[in-house]
Amino acid sequence: MPTADGTIAGVPVRTYQPGSLPVIVYLHGGGFVLGDLDTHDAQVRRLAAATAATAVAVDYRRAPEHPWPAAVDDAVTVIAHLAADGTPVAVAGDSAGGLIAVLAALRLRGDVALRAQLLVCPNADPTLGLPSVVEKAHGWLLDADDLRRWVAMWLPDDAVRGSADVNALVADLTGLPPAVVVTAEHDPLRDEGDAYARRLADAGVPVVHRREAGLVHNFPSLRDVSPAAAAAEDRFLADAAALLRAR
């Protein structure tokens, strides 16, 4: 697959199969502190291949050196630049990147008509206050203690974590683009992803939501060792492609 590393409006990016439409802006996971263009390269390639779209992976600034809102600022900058000439743009992300994608969509609402949200195991609630964070705290790949530490690096102010500025379970979701939201049964972030999908539906936003049984956080990264993870990612990719075709 043709790729090109470069910058968009000063933000480092990797572009996959440039020249296709629409453009999917991808925000990688990693708890707001980890991950980069290489850790998620294979996942972004599969998304680009499945959708026949151009994918632009954003090497956004990470905590603790760059706390909120730096990552969201970078995502907004890239999306706004790409959409400035009318190019159809969708947002996508996994885990922490899923929240960054949502927050960018919220900030751009009314200015950019995004085509879709494509989210895997999104961290929708920085307060980490829902039951699955306790129920699946340890032993399921993503450790809740690590998650709490990373969120604290990104959002040092406890009061901010529950605000509409950063919390997708509090924000007004009216007018956001249609979504695919996939969660995993054994993920500490399961309940907040499920709740985000319900809130989208309640706000009148079309949403395809699936909770994948038996799987753990960010299961696409396990597809080479788990047929179940591979099948679940294939379902997500098919849903993403169908949504983009419908738009």
Q: Report percent pLDDT > 90 for the chain.
A: 98
* Catalytic member of 95, 163, 221, 226: 95
pLDDT (tens digit, 9 = 90+) per residue, 25-41? Answer: 999 999 999 999 999 99
Q: What is the largest CA-CA distance in the chain?
A: 47
- Under the banding of pLDDT at 50, 70 and 90, the label for residue 247 is confident
pLDDT (0 to 100) of residue 142: 97
- Under the banding of pLDDT at 50, 70 and 90, the label for residue 12 is very high
Is the confidence at residue 11, as pLDDT, over 80?
Answer: yes
Is the confidence at residue 110, as pLDDT, over 80?
Answer: yes
CATH at 161: 3.40.50.1820
C-alpha distances in Å from residue 162, one per residue of 48, 103, 130, 156 = 34, 14, 12, 12
pTM of the model: 0.98
Partners of 76 in the β-ladder: none
Which structural domain, as residue segments, surrounds residue 38? Answer: 3-246
* CA-based radius of gyration for the chain: 16
Domains held by the chain: number = 1
Segment 142-152 shows an average pLDDT of 97
Q: Which two tokens stand for residue 193?
A: 């992803």
Segment 138-158 shows an average pLDDT of 96
Is the confidence at residue 62, as pLDDT, over 80?
Answer: yes
- Under the banding of pLDDT at 50, 70 and 90, the label for residue 61 is very high
Is residue 95 flagged as an active site residue? yes
pLDDT (0 to 100) of residue 213: 98
The phi and psi torsions of 160 (rounded to 5 degrees) equal: -70, -30
pLDDT (0 to 100) of residue 144: 97
Measure the CA–CA gap between 150 and 126, rounded to whole angstroms: 10
Segment 57-68 shows an average pLDDT of 98
pLDDT (0 to 100) of residue 239: 98
pLDDT (0 to 100) of residue 47: 98
